[in-house]
A and B are shown apart, each in its own frame.
Chain A
Amino acid sequence: MTAPSTINTGLPLLSVVIFSPLVAAAGATLIGHERLLRWWTLVSTTVVAVLSLPLWWRFNPDTAAFQFREQVAWIPFLKVDYSLGIDGISLLLVLLTTLIMPLCVLASWRYITSRVKEFMICMLVMETAMIGVFCALDAILFFVFWEAMLIPMALMIGVWGGPRRVYAAIKFFIYTMAGSVFLLVALIALRLKTGSFSIEGMMGQNYPAGFQLWVFAAFFLSFAIKVPMFPFHTWLPAAHVEAPTAGSVLLASVLLKMGTYGFLRFCLPITPHATHVFAPYLLALSVIAILYGGFTALAQSDLKKLVAYSSVGHMGFATLGIFVLNASGLEGAVLVMINHGVTTGALFICVGLIYERLHTRELGEAAGIGKFVPVFSGFLGVFCLSSLAFPGTNSFIGEFLVLAGSFAHSKTLTVFVVPGVIIAAAYMFRMLQRVAWGGTNNPAHTGLKDLEFREVVTLAPLLVFVFWIGLHPQPFVRVMHATVLHLLQQAGQVIPPAAVALP
């Protein structure tokens, strides 16, 4: 795996991408003018996005080895290294993060009116931490980034959130903090076994079964809260509802992926035996999440809650795909993660746009606005269809692969997932029908303005991704394919039947 010759060669691209936002945050402290601050953050996040593009071009999809490696001794006395590298899965997540950031800034353009400087600094610090999590190859470095993400997010909810922001922020903080403790315990236990904090070094060690089960359990608690899996999801709707638009988008698009990424990076390769032991229970929880998230979303009259609960269902698909432990399931799961980032992020932006216009998130109040804001309805329509996995959109291909993997694993299990697919159509059509087509002639709607240029620019890139991934997913599958096969090998799973394996 580790090819020393490839370490620390050339430009430290990952470090540049990770720390540029932090530098921009430092720069932001010097700027006093609000308008200038917004532009500064927009430009710097865009620059980071551009800087991250060479990762895509220069990534070699034929190998599962970590690429763009950087390694420097950091705390030699504890054998902690500053060690970075990405594989096919983390590449996609890094790009998702860097590309969604400028859109978050745009979505906050008018939404955030107080403490603009602090907000923008929070966003930039978040970006550094988020990218860092996906790139870290040292357990302590990973943990540092993981924790660093928590504070700006909690601040975003607690300072710029809605009426119950403090409650939501504390709930978010306590839940994820509790999870982090278990993560740290597991990492230290592994350090004691292997003698180093290198994540790669922890993989493939054939730990005793009992040890694996305990480590897996600790990982599971930490990651399941983050995903969130049923029954650890209750912090999510509260956090989403209170968070400002950009916060919701980041939470949905990137932070939830940390949990599933954790499963892929730690559980499968480090504790393969325990993964197999626990997989049936995780599959059951995933199916429950899909059904529970769906039914709960169907009952919501608050648009943000509706989208938040739909997230629980979608992430259920991701964990389902991971724990069926075959190639199409895993590839589907990674695609679901990316798609959820694109689509749910877009839906949160849409809900934010409604809120900016009507100052309410009630479905009943927003009913029928489609007549006055046709361009907005068009965008909302596409994103709703994408969310319910309409064929030709991004989510479809992800769900298709997850279902294929799930069928290959167990037909009975998959039969229980199907109602979740139907419910997704029900709650999304219900929302779309009411908002775009409600037919109530609410006098409050007559003066509504359709999307302005900035708002179109915010949504348009996501629209492109909806169709790009939906109609031409091969590049995305290709970059992760070698990684996924390697991961399956590490998880001790034979490569699945030819019918499901995708070259």
Chain B
Amino acid sequence: METVTDSRLLWAVVTPLLGAGLVMATGRRPNVREACSFLAAVTMFGLTASLVPDVLAGRTPHFTLFQLLPGLSFSLRADALSMMFALAAAFLWILTVFYSAGYMRSLEEHAQTRFNTCFALALFGAIGCAFSDNLLTLYLFYEIVSVTTYPLVAHHQDDEGYEGGRKYLTYLTTTAKGLILPAMVLIYVLSGTLDFATNVHSGILPVGVHNGVIIALYICCILGFAKNGVMPLHHWLPGAMVAPTPVSALLHAVAVVKVGVFSTVRVMLHVFGVDLMDRLHLGLPTAYFVSITILGASIIALSKDNLKLRLAYSTVSQLSYIILGVALLTPTAIEGGLIHIANHAFSKITLFFCAGAIYVATHKKNISELSGLGRAMPWTFGAFAVASLSMIGAPPVAGFISKLYLLIGALDAGAIGILVVLVASTLLNAAYFVPVVYHGFFGPPSAGDAHHHHREAPLAMVIPLCLTAAISALLGFYPDFLIQFAQAVVQ
């Protein structure tokens, strides 16, 4: 792989930061402000997309921001793994700008300028994580995401908001400072560098480090990136559902949680490396460990009547698919895990968009109240149905491809137990999503509720959710675009 210095990387990362500044400066004029957000989102996506040909051609664009000390720098790189996450996050930001404008204005939310500023800053953190060239840079942007999303989670500034925000920050900073920081320092002491390896095999830890130390570091890294929602450190995620829905949508289905999973995967593949994980038999135990999350979160999701909470637990469950795939350590399984980063992003954002649209149109939050609403809001519920299929892993929607790869990968690895987990999880997914769709379309309107009063949410919200649903389906029909990146990672 050829490394080339490329300033587009810098601009891709700086754009949302500049965008945040513009949003703050133009706060008094909402339309100009939203235009600035949009402009930043489009520019960031354009810059990210312009890197695609280089990455596919096998080049690795690289940019050093600050050289702190030898072996210690803030620097950026774009490789295949970065691109899968960066493209999804950048593209979905564009749609979310429209959606959140529709949502926030319909509900006449307060402090919209602060909201949009923090939103752009969170994207700054997310894209920075995607393009991190070393553990230190990853840690920097990971922490930036934690801090800049706090005002979004606690947006309502009521007791519930503060409580959710407190829990959010407590979980995320405690794990980052208590597990990742010491692990990172120790890795630096052991190997003299924090730069990620250029392939998934070698890792950066030198030969001769005591196995016990490596295993301790590994556990710190799996649990420390608590944004990945792995149980038992997942409680912040349902707590953060007090945030306005656009926040839940982009940040808690795409940016924040994906930053967590991406960081975990990045460290597994490019710090420890497949060979080392294989040698120390770290793969299967990790896969079984996250299986607890996959099944446990699904079972909890079944018990939730609040739609956003059910989606939150579904997210917790689905994120672990990604880690599970990588932990199986076979090429197909890793590919399956990685494409699920993008597949899950598009499907889950659709579901959250739908939840927000339903709330704006009807002020209903609970699944039991949605009966029969599908006839009043066909587009929203149609999109919800498509995304649900993806979550369940039914063909031909995106999630099917991920699940197929994961199943094949599990067979390759000879892990029958994992196969059972995947099948059981599919049944559970169906059990908590199908009733929502079914009752929405075919259920009788709930008593005392005249549904003919309800209509679709504003177009600014409905169009984005239809688009994301359509892309979920497209990714199922044409999975090659993502798979080529995933294959480039594994090579």
Chain A residues close to B by CB (< 8 Å): 385, 390-392, 397, 400-401, 403-404, 407-408, 411, 414-415, 418-419, 421-422, 425-426, 429, 433, 437, 439, 471-474, 477, 498-500, 502-503
Contacts and interface: CB of A to CB of B under 8 A. Distances in A.
Contacts of A425: 173-174, 177
A324 to B, nearest CB: 12
Contacts of A433: 150
Interface of A is mostly: helix
Contacts of A473: 68-69
Given A392-B74, A408-B189, A385 B69 contact: no
Interface of B: 66-70, 72, 74, 136, 139-140, 143, 147, 150-151, 154, 157, 162, 169-170, 173-174, 177-178, 181-182, 185-186, 188-192, 213
A503 B170 CA distance: 37
Contacts of A397: 68-69
A298 to B, nearest CB: 12
A474 B188 contact: no
Contacts of A471: 66, 68, 74
B181 A502 contact: no
5 contacts: A404-B188, A407-B182, A418-B182, A425-B174, A499-B192
Given A390-B143, A439-B162, A503-B70, A415 B185 contact: no
Contacts of B182: 403, 407, 414-415, 418, 421
Q: Which of A422, A471, A500 lies at the interface centre, i.e. has the most chain B CB atoms within 10 A of its CB? A: A422
A499 B190 contact: yes
A26 B162 CA distance: 55
B174 A422 contact: yes
Given A385-B147, A407-B186, A498-B192, A421 B70 contact: no
B445 to A, nearest CB: 39
Nearest to A419: B178
B112 to A, nearest CB: 15
A437 B151 contact: yes
Nearest to B173: A425
Contacts of B189: 404, 407-408, 499-500
A385 B144 CA distance: 11
A132 B182 CA distance: 38
Given A385-B147, A498-B192, A391 B140 contact: yes
Given A403-B185, A499-B188, 16 more contacts: A390-B143, A391-B136, A391-B139, A391-B140, A397-B69, A404-B188, A407-B186, A418-B177, A421-B177, A425-B174, A437-B157, A439-B157, A472-B67, A473-B68, A498-B192, A503-B70
Contacts of B67: 472, 474
Closest 7 CB pairs of A and B: A499-B192, A391-B140, A403-B185, A471-B66, A439-B157, A407-B189, A425-B173
A415 to B, nearest CB: 7
A126 to B, nearest CB: 34
B178 A421 contact: yes
A408 B189 CA distance: 7
Contacts of B66: 471-472
Nearest to B157: A439
